[in-house]
Amino acid sequence: MFVLFHSNVMYPNFVTHLKKYISLNNDEVALLLSSVKPLIIDKKDFLVKEGQICRANYFVEQGLLRMFFVNHKGNEQITQFALENWWIADYMSFTMQNGSHFNIQAVEASTVIAIEYHKQDYLMEQLPQLERYFRLMMQRAYAAAQMRVKYFHAASKEDNYRQFVSLFPEFVRRVPQYMLASYLGLTPEYVSELRKRNS
């Protein structure tokens, strides 16, 4: 279950993050904030379930989320995590407005800012600098996805683990071990062994 914020709540991470990449004056910030939907999500609650339409692009103001699917063996396969200042969505579902192939769930109690599908184009028309912002975010995300594929195919399982730990220590600190194992394509037992070996 998730609930809307009270309308007077501010979004310090959201606005600060945007201003790192684009210029926004006070009127533009006010327009932006009047057009987004802030949500509070309890731990283990879902923003999207497989088969539902992903109706928004979600910015993590506070907390931690994961995206996953259930494979043919009935196991959860995590494809993405998102913590503060990260975006998460099933972009195929969001763009096409059809059923999602993924679940998006809160790993921690979280606060997210949702830009709904029907609002995003409107905001980009009113605030053209948002086009630049989202282009930069997509380029960074795509580059990271390419490197992840390379490491998955070219590096050993232990090297993959070490690389992830060195790049994303906050995830390792906050993500349960079995979820980290799922994301890295490892067993929880092997992750436990690697943590002991590298501690």
- DSSP result, the chain: -EEEPPTT---HHHHHHHHTTS---HHHHHHHHHHSEEEEE-TT-EEE-TTSB--EEEEEEESEEEEEEE-TTS-EEEEEEEETT-EE--HHHHHHT-B-SSEEEESS-EEEEEEEHHHHHHHHHH-THHHHHHHHHHHHHHHHHHHHHHHHHHS-HHHHHHHHHHH-HHHHHHS-HHHHHHHHT--HHHHHHHHHHT-
Note the pTM of the prediction, 2 decimals. 0.90
34-83 pLDDT, tens digit each:
999 999 999 999 999 999 999 999 999 999 999 999 999 899 999 999 99
164-174 pLDDT, tens digit each:
888 888 888 89
